Amino acid sequence: SCLKFIKVRRLRGPGIVYYRGDGCYSVLGKLPTGQPQPISLTPKCWVYGIVEHETLHALGLDHEMSRRDRGKYITLHLGNAFDGFGEIVGYQPSFLTYNLKYDYGSVMHYNRVSSSVNGRITISTKNVHYLKTIGQTHAASFNDIKLLNLHYCNDICKRKLNCSNHGYTDPKNCNVCRCPTFFTGKLCRQLVKSQAGCPNQELKAIAQPKTLAIRGKKSCIIRITAPLRSRIRLRINISQFTLFKVCEPFKGLEVKFLNDKSVAGARFCGLDRNKIILSEGNTVILHYRGMRPIDKVNIVYQTAN
């Protein structure tokens, strides 16, 4: 983004002050008094994505679950949550989205058991494949940063490039685009290259089923394309990776099956079998990231009826 953080010894006016407090929290947006914005962090908060989460609050970003359109994407189970959870994730009618799609992979999204009193789910996803994607603490998503740029940096580049795949003109270099995950090139029209030992990057889906099998330690980015106005049906026969509470990017399998490829794909970690995914349009992007020799996927793909 165009935002630049400069460390200073003393801060008297607007700015951000990180301090060791009794929790992880920040006031939303710039203080009207013009004073420094305090961000409380405990040692448990010293995780890159959590620090980013609170910093983005200070810069004005609210929780993804507070969007006006959240009812299309999640269900809250307040009976399983601590008192006050409903206020924390409360619907905000003034939430500015700049027409960006709901992003299950946002660092501003809570995980499925956040504030649970009984270990049961407090937030479920309308699309079941995203249940283990919500609650990222790895880093801000592409659209988290894009939202910041649309609010603070949109006037820097007077001429906007025709970026593909929902990329945007880079405010630090107006001659290139900032690209969503897995895309590269000046206008975001190319895929990031796979590593050696991966299948072909470009695959075609037809009515007859085809099988994609990958195993071992490697990073593979693959685009499956069907004819125009067709959709793609994926059956994940098996997906085997290290299990995490929240599936992390670049560790497991990510499937971008929605039309908007700027939002996070559904992430799979641990052991999954017989998962059926139907694409929204005629393209799917897959990212396989095996960290161990035993990691593997076996996927059958074809056009959908």
Q: Which amino acids are annotated as binding site for Zn(2+), given as ranges?
A: 53, 57, 63
Contact 166, 160 (CB under 8 A): no
Give SS3 for 130. helix
Give SS3 for 289. strand
Known catalytic residue at 54: yes
3-state secondary structure 198-219: CCCCEEECCCCCEEEEEECCEE
Cite the annotated binding site by residue number.
Answer: 53, 57, 63
Contact 60, 3 (CB under 8 A): no
Q: Is 197 left (phi over 0), alpha (psi -120 to 50) or beta?
A: left
Active-site annotation holder among 52, 54, 64, 254? 54
CA distances from 240 to 21, 213, 243 (A): 40, 12, 9
Task: Report, as residue numbers or ranges, the catalytic residues.
Answer: 54
